[in-house]
């Protein structure tokens, strides 16, 4: 595959935060690593059933950690590929070096580097980039959500019947998959325009913030999947919770992000098949 130039970030001049430039630099350098492996190829390995990992994931995460520690040596780093941390740390970086590894492995150019910075448990900075398309997403608490150098916001559509829904599937092929498919059926019964499943949670959350999706849900995500994207949704004017309506924990959880106007209607569907953090299938009013 022929490579294209990974463009430098066009960081909005109005955004300001002590950790922002470090997050951008780390995402840029990690993105170059991921893009290089994408074009040149790498060995694909399996961590668990259907969950893949590559040298691109591992090396990009090490790159991010090194850049963060150069500026903030005492900060904690939580990453998908081996960096463990106390999530109650005062300063916490949550990193997904390659969100969408399955897409990457199949040469589908839809994946991202995602970096979130949290202070005392509150998201402060988020940077997400697709290094193949050079689509950059920036967000700083209280300063808005930005796509490249343009401020963005969620849609103002108040009804499900005029919206597009984003969805995600975890690697489970059992009851969790069935719960997701059943929830999708119920969304279609609301006459939505359609569903889209692109396989990269961080970018799906950005689609909500851009106003392209009215809602996005997935019944199982890890913190690195949503750490940066949640702030993008919130700063764009949206609402994000777990699929039962509770605050997102810094732990494995379900996730529902909407433009806010659609949150109650979407929750009515997602929580029907997800109770107490577990899939819950019903048929004719009775649990299966």
List domains and CATH numbers for the chain: 20-149 (3.30.540.10), 160-287 (3.40.190.80)
pLDDT exceeding 70 applies to what percent of the chain?
A: 91
d(CA 240, CA 143): 18
pLDDT over 80 (residue 42): no
| Mean of pLDDT values over 148-174 | 91
More confident residue, 71 or 85: 71
Instruction: Identify the residue whose tokens are 């941390």.
Output: 85
Say what the pLDDT of residue 169 is: 85
Q: What is the pLDDT of residue 4?
A: 58
Q: Which residues pair with 168 in a beta bridge?
A: 218
**pTM assigned to the model:** 0.92
pLDDT for the residue numbered 52: 63
> Over the chain, what is the mean pLDDT?
91
Q: Quick one: average pLDDT of 115-119?
A: 98
Note the pLDDT of residue 77: 97
Strand ranges inside 131-273, DSSP E: 135-140, 145-147, 150-152, 164-168, 194-196, 215-221, 239-241, 253-258
């Amino acid at each position: 595959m022929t490579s294209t130039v990974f463009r430098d970030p066009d960081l909005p001049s109005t955004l300001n935060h002590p950790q922002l430039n470090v997050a951008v630099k780390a995402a840029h350098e990690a993105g170059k690593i991921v893009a290089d492996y994408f074009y040149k190829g790498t060995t694909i390995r399996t961590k668990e059933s259907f969950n893949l990992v590559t040298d691109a994931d591992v090396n990009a995460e090490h790159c991010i950690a090194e850049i963060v520690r150069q500026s903030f040596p005492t900060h904690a780093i939580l990453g998908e590929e081996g960096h463990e941390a106390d999530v109650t740390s005062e300063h916490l970086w949550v990193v997904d070096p390659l969100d969408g590894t399955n897409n990457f492995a199949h040469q589908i150019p839809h994946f991202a580097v995602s970096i979130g910075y949290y202070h005392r448990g509150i998201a402060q900075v988020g940077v997400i980039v697709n290094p193949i398309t050079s689509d950059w997403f920036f967000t700083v608490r209280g300063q808005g959500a930005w796509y490249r150098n343009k401020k963005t916001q969620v849609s103002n559509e108040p009804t499900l019947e005029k919206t597009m829904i984003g969805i995600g599937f975890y690697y489970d092929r059992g009851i969790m998959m069935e719960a997701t498919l059943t929830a999708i059926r119920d969304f279609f019964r609301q006459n939505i325009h359609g569903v889209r499943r692109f396989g990269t949670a961080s970018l799906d959350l950005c689609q909500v913030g851009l106003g392209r999706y009215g809602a996005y849900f997935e019944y199982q995500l890890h913190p690195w999947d949503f750490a940066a994207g949640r702030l993008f949704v919130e700063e764009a004017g949206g609402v994000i919770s777990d699929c039962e309506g509770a605050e997102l924990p810094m732990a494995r959880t379900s996730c529902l992000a909407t433009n806010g106007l659609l949150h109650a209607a979407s929750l009515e569907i997602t929580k029907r098949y997800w109770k107490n953090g577990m899939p819950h299938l019903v048929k004719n009013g009775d649990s299966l």
